[in-house]
Each structure stands twice: as C-alpha cells, then as structure tokens.
Structure 1
Amino acid sequence: MKPRILILSCLLLAGELFAQQYQKTAVGIKTKLQSMDVEIQFYSPSIVRILKSPEGVLFKKESLSVTKKPQETKLTIQQKGDVLSMKSEKLKVDVDFKSGKISYYTLAGVELLKETESGATFTDFDDVGSKTYSINQLFTLDKDEAIYGLGQQQRGKLSLRNTKINMIQDNKDDYVPFLVSTKGYGLFWDNYSPTTFEDKPRSTSLKSEVGDCIDYYFMVGGTIDGSIAGMRELTGQAPMFPLWTFGYWQSKERYKSQNELVGVVSKYRELGVPLDGIIQDWQYWGNNYLWNSMEFLNPEFPNPKKMVDDIHNMNAHLIISIWSSFGPQTKQFREMEPKGMLLNFGTWPQSGVESWPPNRDYPSGVQPYDPYNPEARDIYWRYLNKGLFSVGIDGWWMDSSEPDHLDFKPSDLDLKTYLGSFRKVRNAFPLMTVGGVSGHQRAASSDKRIFILTRSAFAGQQRYGANTWSGDVNSSWESFRNQIPAGLNFSMSAIPYWNTDIGGFFAGAYKKGWGDGTKNPSFQELYVRWLQFGAFTPMMRSHGTDVPREIYNFGKKGEPIYDAIAKTIDLRYSLLPYIYSAAWDVTNSQSTMMRALVMDFNDKKVVDISKEYLFGKSILVAPIVNAQYTPETIVKSNEQTGWDKNNEEKGAKDQTINFTQTKSTKVYLPEGTVWYDFWTNEKIKGGQEIEKTTTIDESPLYIKSGSIIPFGPKVQYATEKKWDILEIRIYPGANGEFTLYEDENDNYNYEKGAFSTIKMEWNDKSKTLNISKINGSFKGVLKNRTFNIVLVDKTNTAAGINNSKFNKTIEYSGKAKSVKL
C-alpha cells in the first residue's frame, strides 16, 4: 500500500510541476524559460507575438508601429514532455521548456522557422542613466529558403541571405525590421534602436542596441503576399492616393521663383506633354537661418496664393518641400527650443550662408525637432497649416525625414527625446514625423486625400498616405541598377509606395564641357532609361540637381531623346486605369504594386533576379540598366561632395552618338506561363532567357498570358477625360481576371462606399470575356461607356499603345455582358 501512495504522490507532483510551467492568458500563455519571463500572445489565428525579458524585471512597452490589439483566438494547447504546443486555425507554435527555443509550423507540421537553442540574450546596458539591455535573438533558417525585405538598401542585391546589415536610418537607406520568406512567413522585429541583421550559414540574428525586452511578431501568410497582408493587418492598411498622384511629376533642385515654377507647368501645357504635379524644393523661405519656416519669405515668391491658383487653373497640383528641422530665426525654433523640443546634432544645412563648402564661421544653427513629442507635432502642424496648407498646397515633400545626421558622434544618440534617449527610438523618427503631419491633416479635412513624399520610412508608415523615395542617389548606371532591388525589398517590407529621383540626384559630373548637361549623350541615355523604369514605379517623378530635367531642355519634337521621353510619359498615362485599379488592390486586398518575380512565380531562377519585376500582376518590366550607346561613367558622391559645384571646367565631349540605332539586351521570362512582347505582340514561352531587340524609345515589357489590361484615353492630365471609352486588351493563353476600379479621385468618400468596380473574366477555352454588372456607385459614376476589345495576337501590331485593331466594340450600361471573341 505504501509504494502505491508514493507513486501516486510522484505523479501528482510531476503534474503540478508541468502545470506550473506556464499560465494561460486570454490570448496565449505566460511562462519562464532559461531565466526569462516569456509571453506568447496571439493577435489573430495567423499572427503571434513573442515577448521576452529577464526574469522578474518589469517593463512597459507600447508599440509605435503596431496598431492592432491582440484578439481572443481559439487555441488548442497540449503538452508532451518538455514541449508545449499551441494550435490556432492557421499555425502551430511549439515551446521547448528544456532548450528554451520556440518553433513555428504549418498545421500540416511543416517547420517554418525556429529559434536556436539559448538564442535570446540580454546584455546590461546603461542608456544615459536608464538601466536597460542590448538584446539579441538567433533563428535557424533552412539552407534553401530565400528572405527579403528589411526596407531599402543600396546593396544592388535582392536576397538577404549571407548578408550583414547595420540598420540605422540614413539618406539613401530606409530600414524596416520586417522580412518575408519564400516559405510563407513574415517576421517583424519591433525595436527602434540601431539594429544589426546578420545571416550566417548556422544562424540568423537580430541584435538591437537598446531594448527593455525582446519583442517580435511571427505571421504565417502562406505566400509573400499573405505575409505582407499580415504585416499590414498588424501595423495599418495603405489608403488610396488621389488619381492625380499617379500621373507625371516634374521637379528639380530648385525652382527659384514662382514665375519659373508656374512657367514649367505652362510650358508642358503648351507642348501637349502630360503633367499632373510640380514640386517646389527648398529655400522658398529665404536664407538658411529661416530654414523650413513654412512661409514664403523669399521675395521671388511674392504671391503664393496666386501661384497655387495659377497651377490649379492649369489642372496641375503642387507639393512643397518641408523638413524635420528648423533654422534659429524661425518661429517654430523659437517656440520649441525653450520647451526642450529640439535635438542638437549636426544636420543639413551646416552653414547659414548658401555656399560650398559650408562656411563654419557662420553655422546655420538648424536643429531637428522631436517628433516623438505630441506637443511638438501639434506645433509643427499649426505652422504648416497656417503657412502652406491654407494657401491650397496639395501635398508635402518631407525631406530629410530620417533626419540628416551629419558629422555623427555616438554621444548624439544620448540626446533626450520625449520617449527616452534618441538611441532608443532612433529608427522610428520618420514614422513619427510623417505620422504627425498625416494625422493632423486628416483631422483637419477629409476633402483632400493626404499625399506625402518622404525620404525615409519605418514599419507601419504605409498607413499615413506616404510615398517614399530612395534619397539623394548618384546619377550613374551603377546607382540606377541598385534602385530596382532597393525598391523591391522596400515593397516587400509591406510599404507599397516607392519611387526614385529619375536620372539620379547628383548629376554634376555630366556638365563638364556640356553646359547644363542636357545635351551630353551620356546623361541623355541614362535619363531616358531611368525614366522608362520610373514609368513603372508607383510615382513617376523626375528630379535632381545640376542638370535640368524638363523635357524641353532635351531638344524638340522629332528628335530621338525628346520623343523617347514624350513616348514614355504618354505610355504612363495610357495605363492609368490599370495603375489606379492596382492601387485599389493595394488598399482593398493588401497587394503590392512593385512585385519581385519570386512573389508570383515558382521558378528557382527568379529567386535572386534583381533587374526585373512585375508592375501590378500582369506587366513584366525589364529595364535596360547598362549603357548601350555611350560609355558607362562611374560617379561617386554623397551629401557632402555632391554639392561641390566645381564642375564647370572644360571636358572632352563624347563622340557623336546615333540614338536611332537598334541594340539588344537579355531578358529572362519566368516559367509557368506564356509571355507577350508588349511592343510587338510576339508570343514567347516562359522559362528561358531571350535576346530582345531594343531602341532608345522602348524598354522591354512583357505581358503575362491571361492578362486583361485597360488602356485609357490620351490626356494632358489624369482627370482630363472620363474613362468612358477604354481599350480592353486580352492576352490569351490562360484564364484571367481584372477588376476596374473608379471613385471620386480625391477625397475619402471611398471609405464610405463611394466607388465602383467592374470585374472582367476571360475564359481562354471558350474565348469569352465575361463583364460583370457594375458594383457600387459614386457621384459622377459613368452610366454608359464603350469598351473597344482587343484579343492580342501578332496581327494586331499595336506598337505599344493607341493603335490596335479592335476585335469588337461593345456598349456597356452597367449590366452584365458576355463577349465571344
């Protein structure tokens, strides 16, 4: 009898020990692992959060990026030996009490990701008097999986494997600590301090300088798209931009008077070249001591209201440069400084007088503000609203939003912000400053959609109506090549809107011996190829210093370079129905506009292709990224050297270049589909590299079989004509579908249901196009329209746009129709 009692007691004790190993919560469990307090929280069936901290150390963490709250999720919890398994409807999470590692699986038992044993470390760190930690977490990745994201890097590569990246925001590098895997999961490291990502053969790690806790989110999406959708569910959805933002934008450093600015728009209208946006760069406020005053204090801008009205009367829009810093003579500086709302470190500009090199005898005194402080964000908007929004400016060019941090000293990170040391929150600076403007504008008015062009970004910024550009990049072929993988990794970081300075920012090297540089064939070729790439990014914006970018500086109609530029801009406008519908797919279905080929094709050869991508889900873009007509020039410059204007000395001109010659380039077409050459309609089987004949005015474009693409009318600006007559091209060879989206173009009524969709489905076997009844309505919705339908084949030699032979023309009044072709 006594032995039985002993055995029973041991069993009860063992059960009690197992029971004490974890505690159930409303959204998961709490437990202790290897001297750490660990909490696992399910935010949804597919998203789980892991929190780790040294045992017994209390902390408070309110995420700057995450907007979603954890939701009660149906879980099955079972323990076998040392392993606790938690199952939701979407994934399984295993906790190994012995090794301390956490692993993630599909419901079918396929391992997705696992921590390494003893992979979490906390190292004591004194953060300007605050006891905290440097934190590190190690994971084990499969040898053959590929990972992408982590924001924008100028590495020239797509894959993140076998890479070390020191993530601290910079002019040309925008870091977002979110990555996606070809195995169908996403990982978000929720930390704002300088962080190092390193992928080695045995482990992959994320190490941050400051963290009261390890805080990361694992999400299972099944695909890269699904993982991105999970990240947007967690950190906010991307709103719709106005239709006009998808037109062509002209800019330069800088228009020096309101007459010059308005004159550019007028000249485009006179030439009949489409234009929707013009951008005013810095110093409309006057001297550097008045930096970012948000007022037109420069006498060359005497009547800003008239300037804005003149631009609007030509059916164009204006956005204007604003910064994250203020000069010492501005009202903002004088109001913020006594309240401790400025960060005293070296930023742009460094001299109070406009000259190069900076005159250190006359320091500018410009300082960034503290956007982590809600009162500082209020002050920022108050002046922005009064000085610029009130005169009708249409959007904001938020320059230096990382911000510029020149002559960096480690002690600069010791500066105090509203949320602690600058070190602790450094990388979230762009999120806070962009969010401050976006939130205030939306509270002030819903009549005009927020549009912010910004130089930096952080996790969650997609919710603020911002399009990020890639910074002050060099004007060189090498730099141009780097932009494609930079944009694709940025897009796979769940922030869908991105663009570049078309032609590159620092272009002074092309002026030597060539006046303003616009007649230099080396720059002409690079500019045209960059423009052709820019036509297939979410914002088509020409900008840079030294060499002007307006079309009329490159010649006149009938000349090869002028005609190539005009043709590319026209192509962009013809695709606006496709592009705007793709934007709705981003907002409504968490899609991505610039798509790495690995997102859509199960083809091992595309895993690390960094020079091609899909724009939307139908158009393969293969930019020409090597010089074909001129020698390639390597240009190196940065924020410091790029402003050196000592480049007017005479130089040897290139030999005469014949831009009418045909050239060729290689293009890889992914397997699993048939492709159509956009320019010739030639049908080509995927899974092969081809040699493509090219001209200066055409860059390789291919359309996936099964695609349905609407083409809009020829216009001078995006809303000039309604889409009452559309060309609908069908690329046969597979079934396909497309949803045409329309709304009121520039307000938030779409959030209340004021929009319409028309779904089109192609049945390849029966050669039938089924057009649904119109779904939804809004003020101004078209009651009747004409669809000119083209079944693409080589007999319909389209030469790109606007001159195909129509197979059928149908009248559509909003009722369902089937068309046999």
Structure 2
Amino acid sequence: MMFFKNTIFLGMIAMLSMELPAHAQNSAPIYQKTSTGVQLTYRAVPAAPDQDIYLDFYTEQAVRVRVTPPDTKKPGKESLVLIDTVATSKIDFSVSQVGDSLLVKTSGIQVKAFLPTGTLHFYDAQGKPLLREGARNALSFQKDAYDGDSFLNIQQSFQISADEGLYGLGQHQNGVMNYNNGRRVSLLQYNTEIAVPFLLSTNNYGILWHNYSINTAGDTRPLLPLHAFKLFSHEGRQGWLTARYVNKENETEVYAERPESTIDYNYLSDQHKYPQGIQLSKSKVYYDGEFASPYAGLHYLHFKYSGYIKVYIDGELLQDRWREAWNSGTFELPVTLEKDKRHRLRIEWIPVGNESYLTLNWQRPQEAGEQRFGFHSEAGDAIDYFVFSGANMDEVISGYRQLTGKAGIMPRWSFGYWQSRERYKTQAELENVAQTFRKRRIPIDNIVQDWSYWSEKDWGSHVFDPKRFPDPDGMIDRLHQQHFKLMISVWPKINEQSAVFDEFKQHNWLYMRNIYDGRKDWIGEGYTSTFYDVYNPAARNAFWKQMNSKLFSKDVDAWWMDASEPDIHSNISVEERKAVLQPSIGSSVRYYNTFPLLNAKGIYDGQRATDSSKRVFILTRSFFAGQQRYGAAAWSGDIASTWEDMKDQISAGVNFSMSGTPYWTMDAGGFLVQRKYYEPNAADLEEWRELNSRWYQYGAFLPLFRAHGQFPAREPFAIAPEEHPAYKSMLYYIDLRYRLLAYNYSIAGQTYLNDYSMIRGLAMDFAADTAVYHINDQFMWGPSLLVNPVSQHGKRKRAVYLPKGKDWYDLYKGQHFAGGQTIEADAPYDRIPVFVPAGAIIPWGEPLQYTSEKPQDVLTLLVYEGQDGEFVLYEDAGDNYDYEKGAYSTVTCSFDNQRGVLSISDRNGTFEGMTKQRKFNVLLVGRNHPIGIDALPKKMKAVTYTGRAMTIKLR
C-alpha cells in the first residue's frame, strides 16, 4: 500500500515523506491512499472544520463518501441497504495532486477534493462536472441521543445546476415531478408516503444518501409557521387571521370566532387546541384575512388536511380537495410574492368527524444565486453517501442496483388484471366474485383477500375465521382450478388477545410500549395491539413460520404486507411512533425508515427457503432502498377517490420508479370514498363511473394493474352495467393489458437483465429536451408507449407534449404527429391518449382470459417507421427462479428504417416449456399508412418463426 502526506502552508502545497504520522501535527490536511480510495484528515485547518473524509470506490462508476468529526470511528461496511457481496473486487484508481486539489479517479468517475476546505467535486469519466458538495461547517455534525443511543444529527448540501432535473426520493403525494428549484420533501415512512433516499439527475448521476433515519431532502431549511407572515384579520387588524366556526348546516349560526395566527392541528395530540365545546363534525371553518411576506420570490405553502378544503388567494381558487379524517393528506402551493405586498387569503374547511386535521406552514424563497440540494438526517454515525455516474439515467440506476440488489422478475401472472376490495367478508362472497368474472369472461389472474379474514380478536394469527371462511383450503383449491391466484393481506401487527401474542411476548419479539400505553385499534370494541420486531432474525423466522403453516402451506400465492411503515396508529405524532418502535439493534430514531425493508426480507428469505421454485411476490405499503431485491412491489397507500389524488399518483409512481425501484401500483379507483358516492344521486353516480373508468385507463399501463378500495365495490360489473361506456372502457383496458402481455413481460425481463425501469419519467428517454423536466402527468411505459392519463372530470381533450427528437403515432388510430410540440389530444370517455414513437416495435398478442390460458404462439409485431428501432422479446417459465440460472430466451427484433426491413434474430437461450415455433404477423405503421390497434387489418404479412434468424421486407 502506498501512502501520501500533504501540507498546506502559506497557501502552498508540498508533498512530504511517504510515511503517515498517526495524527496531524500541523494545520494542514493530510491525505493517504488506501486500498479502495483515499482518506483525508483535517485538524485546525483555517477554512475547514475538523473532519475525516473517506473516499472508497465500490465499482468503476460508484464512490462512497463518509465524513466524520474528529475521534469518531469510520462507519464499517455493514449495511441494511447494500447486498452482502458488494465491494469484493479491487477497483483500479489513480491519485494525483493538481494545484490545491487532489484528483482521485477510476475509468468511470472522478472526484476532486479541494484541499483548503475539504469539499468534494464529482465528474463523469470524461471530466464533465456532475455536482459538488457545499462547504461543511459546525452544523454539519451535531451530537444527539435517543433511548441511550448516541449519534450525530447530520447535514450536507450539494451545489447543483439550475437547469438539471432531479427525481426519485421515493413516493410522495405533492404532485411534484422535478425536485429542483427549492422543493422540499420529508423522507419518512407514512401511509401514502414512501422514503427512498436515492436521487437521480438528468446530468447522469445519482446520490444514495446512506442513512436510515428520518430525513429532509431538497431545501432543508425548517418550514416556517403561518405567523412568520405578516397577518391581518378580516377587519384589517394586524397579527392574525379571523377564524369563524359555524354550523355547516346553517352558516348564520356562529359557534365561535377568534384570532388564529398559527394553524397547527397536526395530530391527535393537537385536538385540544380547537375552541372548547366545538363539535368539529357539525362545523365549517373559515379563515379570512390577508398576509404579506417579508421576502420576495417563490414561496411554497405546505398544507396537511382532512375533510374538505378550499384555498383562495386574491379570490382565485387554487386548491379544492377532500381526505378522510383518519388518513389526512398533504399538498403544497407554489406562490410568487412581492416583499410586503398584502394578499387576500381565504380557507374554507369542512372537517370530517370530531377529530380532524389542518396545518399550514411555508418555505421562504431560496437566496439569489443559491442552487442547492441538501440532506438533513436525524441520526447517523457520519455523513455517508454514494455517488453513481453513468452514460444515461438507466446506467445510473443500474449502478445503484449493482450495490443494493437486482430487481427480480415478478411472476407472469402478476402482469394480468387484479381484483380487490376492502374487503371480501366471507368465503362465499370472494368465490362468487371470482365466478362472476369467469361467467362474464372478464380477463383476470389474481383476486385479493384483504384484512379481517381472521376472527375479530385474533389479529396476527393468520387463521381464517371458521364462521366466515369455513373451508379455506377448498376455497383456494377452487380458485386455482378456475385459474386464479390468491393474494392475502398479512400485517406485521399482533393483538394482545391473539393466539400468538404470548409466544412473541415471551421471546421479546414485540414492541411492548404500545401495549402498556393501552392504545386500541378501531376494530369492534377496540383491541390493544403492537408490531413484531423485524430487526430480530428469530422474530422474522417465527413470523414466517406462522405465515407458512397457516397460509403458504394452503397454497396462497402472494403476500400483501399492509401497514409496513409500521402504522402504529393513525394520526399519532411521529414522536409517539418513535416511542413505540424499539428495534432490537438500536434506537428507533436511527432505524426509523427501515422497518419495511426488514419486514420484506423476512418473508422473502422465508419463502425461498421453504420453496425455492415459486417466485416470491410481496406487495407492500412502504419501501426502502434495496427492498427491490426481496421480490417486493409497492402501492401508494390509502389515497382518496378524487380526481386530484389520481393526478398526484402519476408523479408519485414515476418518481418511485426513478428511485431505482421498478414495481409500483396504486388503488385504481382510489381507496377512501366521499359519502356522496355511497348513495349517489344521478350526477354523482356518473362522476363515480367516469372517475373509475379514467383510473382503469391509467392503471393498465403500470407494472401491476389492480383495482381496490372501500365501498362501493370495485369490480367493473359493480361500477356500471354492461351497456354503460364506463363498463366498456374498463373491459377494453383489461383486454389491452392482456394483449400487451408479451410487451410488458419483456420489459420486466429487462428490469432484471439490464436494470431497466418500466415506468419512465420523460427525462429518462428525452433528457436533451428540457421541456419535459417538469411535466408531472405524462410518462413512458417501457420504450414505446407515451401514456397521458386524464385526471379531470368531464374532459374530452387534454394537452399532451410530444418530446422532440421523435415522430409520434396515435396508438389507437395510427395518426402521425411531429415531436417537439404540445397538442390538444382527443380523450373521449373510453380512451386516454397514448402515443408511440417512431422506431418502436410493439408485440401485440391474441386475447386471453388469464396469462397462462394458452401459449402466445401468435404475435403481431407493430413496427412504427421513421427511425431505426429495436425490441427484445423476453420469455421464461413464468413462475420459478430458473431465469436466475440462465433459463430464459430472447429474440431481438430490429427495424432498419431506410431499407424498410425488419430483422428477427436467432433465438438466444432456452427454458423448459418454451414455445419453439410461433407465427409473427407484421404490420408497418407510417405517415402514409396510419393504422391503430382499434382497426387492425385482418390480413397482414405473416411469417413462421422457428428460432432461426430471418428478415422481412415491409416496403
């Protein structure tokens, strides 16, 4: 090993001897080359805090940075996020000093340490700047402790460019696509919010913030309370807004009127702040007055709410939303304000129930010239992060998965249609629904049994209630005979009266604080309960053992891991959640966000050890970095059945996918339902049907197509009669889903083979077109489908931006459009706009009732002229892990646009049960021959493919 030592003295840098002293003896940074990178030591250096900086290369394109204050041990390689085999090979790198900088580089990434301050600058392989650290200071490391665990409160900022797009960070309900430009997000596991601390940039780098605690990302400055504005009452008096609590049935009856300068009813523990004697369930609340900011520029108003809320500024309605009380929602409003200029503010709020929630905070504008993105962590041992570089955003994600684990291929049946509701209350009800699907010939693969299939008191036992589910073995067998898979809900929660409680308690496998607090759930009479300790391997094994003996042994196919944040109790504060969550490996503050990761690990490891031939499928409400390696997909939690919530899911799902985590879905139709839809009048019923049909149209282009929600029932035949356009549209998109099976399964294969992302923000494929960076309601589904959901009631057209650099074709009719323009696309009731880029090749299959009904031995290849293109058709056995051993096949279809020739390669690879011969119908779609999937010709150019290469002339 070669060591280096350097000294900065009077502005000059000089190389000294090759021997490194144990401690710095002067006010200059000292650096040494290690086997994996460089260590820099700062003590009493004028322009830098005392710190130790460790750079370690894990791959040619990935470097880990760890920075600690003095006398703090360097964090080891142990990690919940990284795979066990990471960093086993030696990485070639060089170290050189250029002026006052130390350059450390591999063939894929370069790091330049500015020696006077210790700040790090990152470059790609060609030396193009990626990003650089902001200077560290006394606030970078602050000592803190919780529950006997001492740690550091950590901050690190990065200087970014003003014109780059920033994505990822998990799934959030703020409607934000691009996190540049002063955006802020809390990385905190919560129902509808998923924390994945991975950031992806259009400058082709990624940051994995390697920290398990609650984090703030983006603009990390604390939010300001409402009273940080200058406030004026409705009468013009300075200091407050006027709050009026009125009878919502008779607004002339005023219950209370008072000044309020802080709106902070965030949790159950805040309910006492409301006026005494007020029944919120009978009230409507008005906040009226004016506000002025001491700052000029772009502000963000952050709301948390339940019930109905409307927000007006200067008379303009800017938000109109609803959310159920037990699961409050969030939104933010960007508003540009002049310094000290007064603006009229009116908030109309109708609470739901006697416990309801409303909070308003705000973020001031960023300082001029400051373009920073930061991370602020509650607990850690060091500033600890990875930077990944790549030629494009897919390569960056690939680098992330190389360290955190590959995403496996989900079973082929999971790419069919799923039906769920909250909930099938009896065995007879579930079986009747399944039979109705088959009788009506509605394609379907998976039916889902939601919670409370157990006896009321026995939550955690995983035992079917014999009164309502008298023959679960027979039920599952009959479902399988009808070609259904069964997914079942499993919570990490155990009631005190459950049959398994005593065993888990005796072994210290439970978080007992919730029991001693006496906090009860909302089932029946209410039961005390808590969650099991996923951080204890023995507890994970015991939990799987019960799942296996009670469910997997009955041939249950997949797992719905609900409340995996864990959701200790709705609307209690984060501090109360921390008090309950007591991991066996450390404090809740340090490990807060990792519960879902370990929960999924226990199920994945348990099932693969029990039966390694059947693919694990876990649907989980929460997710953390690395969880993709455990057969896990996420859904967006208990969102509301509103148009606004539907639109918010688009950016939520895209950013989740751009967090390196490919499998995502949401409750098509939304989960929480407004009362107006329970017994709707004619207009509300039609809106309900339109809302669901639009949601189905969107859901068909996701990794999992799944309808779910509270009453009313969510089956297509429960939503609308057969002759209704909503019913016809839902069936159209279910059928489309199956016709696209070969396409969908092929791009799923690429998620494993090449670390592909199926849901794709437009910036991933059109990074040169900066117009796409902030578009939050369009996305690419795979390489060939530009999906544009309709999320407004009554809309029959919508604006669609067609990225430049491509020509585009309407999927349904084949009409040609030039790229680089916004069009008003047709969006009739039964269709959402979908466009296909020139050069695309889409395999289009025959109709199916379920994914395994018959081999796909006839495929139509839709070839879109205008550019060269390629598509790799992937196949394997569908529900085992032989693909990990190479048992799969690929066929590459390539289009030469100039020659008008489609080439089909030799088949590469084999697997048991492979379709060895198939018929390809080939159809060229072009400007002069527009053809869409709604009117495919009966006669097309047909070839028989036996696995040997062939070419087909299309014009």
Common topology (TM > 0.5): yes
Deviation at 1:266, TM superposition (A): 0.9
Stretch deviating more after TM superposition (609-618 or 798-807): 798-807
Mapped contact 1:772–1:815 kept (Cα < 8 A) = yes
Matched, 1:215 2:215: no
- Specify the SS of the correspondent of 2:68: strand
Deviation at 1:522, TM superposition (A): 1.0
Mapped contact 2:713–2:719 kept (Cα < 8 A) = no
Cα distance, 1:12–1:29 mapped onto 2, change above 3 Å: closer
Deviation at 1:23, TM superposition (A): 2.1
Deviation at 1:387, TM superposition (A): 0.4
Which residue of the partner structure matches residue 383 of structure 1? Answer: 546
Provide Cα deviations, 1:145-201, integer angstroms capped at 9, x if missing partner: 121110001001101121122221100000101101111100011111111113353
Deviation at 1:794, TM superposition (A): 6.8
- Specify the SS of the correspondent of 2:107: coil
Provide Cα deviations, 1:38-69, integer angstroms capped at 9, x if missing partner: 21110011000011112122265421101152
Residue 224 of structure 1 is aligned with which of 393, 408, 422?
393
Provide Cα deviations, 1:669-691, integer angstroms capped at 9, x if missing partner: 11100000011100110111111
Which residue of the partner structure matches residue 708 of structure 1? Answer: 841
Matched, 1:65 2:81: yes
Cα distance in structure 1, aligned partners of 2:414 and 2:829: 27
Which residue of the partner structure matches residue 258 of structure 1? Answer: 427
Mapped contact 2:144–2:153 kept (Cα < 8 A) = yes
Matched, 1:726 2:859: yes
Cα distance in structure 2, aligned partners of 1:527 and 1:705: 31
Task: Using structure 2 for the length normalisation, give the TM-score.
Answer: 0.78
Report the residue type matching 1:222 in the other structure. A
Residue 468 of structure 1 is aligned with which of 634, 651, 655?
634
Cα distance, 1:22–1:561 mapped onto 2, change above 3 Å: same
Which residue of the partner structure matches residue 751 of structure 2? Answer: 586
Matched, 1:315 2:483: yes
Mapped contact 1:345–1:412 kept (Cα < 8 A) = no
Written as runs of structure 1 = structure 2, the 5 A alignment for 1:333-352 is 333-344=501-512, 351=520
Which residue of the partner structure matches residue 944 of structure 2? Answer: 811
Report the residue type matching 1:535 in the other structure. A
Report the residue type matching 2:949 in the other structure. A
Which residue of the partner structure matches residue 134 of structure 1? Answer: 153
Matched, 1:332 2:500: yes
Residue 181 of structure 1 is aligned with which of 201, 218, 222?
201
- Specify the SS of the correspondent of 1:157: coil
Residue 465 of structure 2 is aligned with which of 282, 297, 306?
297
Which residue of the partner structure matches residue 169 of structure 2? Answer: 150
Cα distance in structure 2, aligned partners of 1:570 and 1:553: 18
Q: CA RMSD in A?
A: 2.2
Stretch deviating more after TM superposition (107-116 or 760-769): 107-116
Mapped contact 1:46–1:91 kept (Cα < 8 A) = yes
Deviation at 1:801, TM superposition (A): 4.7
Mapped contact 1:30–1:37 kept (Cα < 8 A) = yes
Deviation at 1:797, TM superposition (A): 6.4
Cα distance in structure 2, aligned partners of 1:571 and 1:510: 31
Deviation at 1:412, TM superposition (A): 4.2
Task: Using structure 1 for the length normalisation, give the TM-score.
Answer: 0.91
Report the residue type matching 1:525 in the other structure. E
Mapped contact 1:518–1:547 kept (Cα < 8 A) = no
Provide Cα deviations, 1:281-324, integer angstroms capped at 9, x if missing partner: 0111110x311311113411111111110100001100000001
Residue 39 of structure 2 is aligned with which of 16, 30, 44?
30
- Specify the SS of the correspondent of 2:136: strand
Cα distance, 1:739–1:722 mapped onto 2, change above 3 Å: same
Mapped contact 1:324–1:398 kept (Cα < 8 A) = yes
Report the residue type matching 1:28 in the other structure. G
Provide Cα deviations, 1:251-299, integer angstroms capped at 9, x if missing partner: 0000011111111111111001100000000111110x31131111341
Cα distance in structure 2, aligned partners of 1:693 and 1:146: 29
Residue 608 of structure 2 is aligned with which of 432, 435, 442?
442
Provide Cα deviations, 1:694-730, integer angstroms capped at 9, x if missing partner: 2211110100110110011111001111111111110
Cα distance in structure 1, aligned partners of 2:109 and 2:951: 42
Matched, 1:744 2:877: yes
Written as runs of structure 1 = structure 2, the 5 A alignment for 1:73-222 is 73-118=91-136, 121-161=140-180, 162-199=182-219, 200=366, 201-222=370-391
- Specify the SS of the correspondent of 2:595: helix
Cα distance in structure 2, aligned partners of 1:554 and 1:202: 49
- Specify the SS of the correspondent of 2:16: helix
Mapped contact 2:790–2:827 kept (Cα < 8 A) = no
Written as runs of structure 1 = structure 2, the 5 A alignment for 1:486-565 is 486-514=652-680, 520-565=685-730
- Specify the SS of the correspondent of 2:692: helix
Provide Cα deviations, 1:117-137, integer angstroms capped at 9, x if missing partner: 225711010222232211111
Cα distance in structure 2, aligned partners of 1:761 and 1:12: 57
Deviation at 1:664, TM superposition (A): 2.0
Structure 1 gap ranges (5+): 1-9, 356-361, 630-662
Mapped contact 2:804–2:820 kept (Cα < 8 A) = yes
Mapped contact 1:518–1:554 kept (Cα < 8 A) = no
Deviation at 1:202, TM superposition (A): 4.2
Report the residue type matching 2:799 in the other structure. K
Which residue of the partner structure matches residue 339 of structure 2? Answer: none
More strand by share: 2
Provide Cα deviations, 1:501-540, integer angstroms capped at 9, x if missing partner: 000001143435428x998111111110011000001000
Which residue of the partner structure matches residue 44 of structure 1? Answer: 59
Structure 2 gap ranges (5+): 1-9, 22-29, 43-48, 220-365
Cα distance, 1:214–1:353 mapped onto 2, change above 3 Å: closer
Cα distance in structure 1, aligned partners of 2:912 and 2:15: 69
Cα distance, 1:797–1:719 mapped onto 2, change above 3 Å: farther
Aligned residues: 771
Cα distance in structure 2, aligned partners of 1:491 and 1:481: 16
Which residue of the partner structure matches residue 780 of structure 1? Answer: 913
Deviation at 1:693, TM superposition (A): 2.1
Cα distance, 1:422–1:736 mapped onto 2, change above 3 Å: same
Deviation at 1:344, TM superposition (A): 4.0
Deviation at 1:559, TM superposition (A): 2.5
Cα distance in structure 2, aligned partners of 1:597 and 1:482: 16
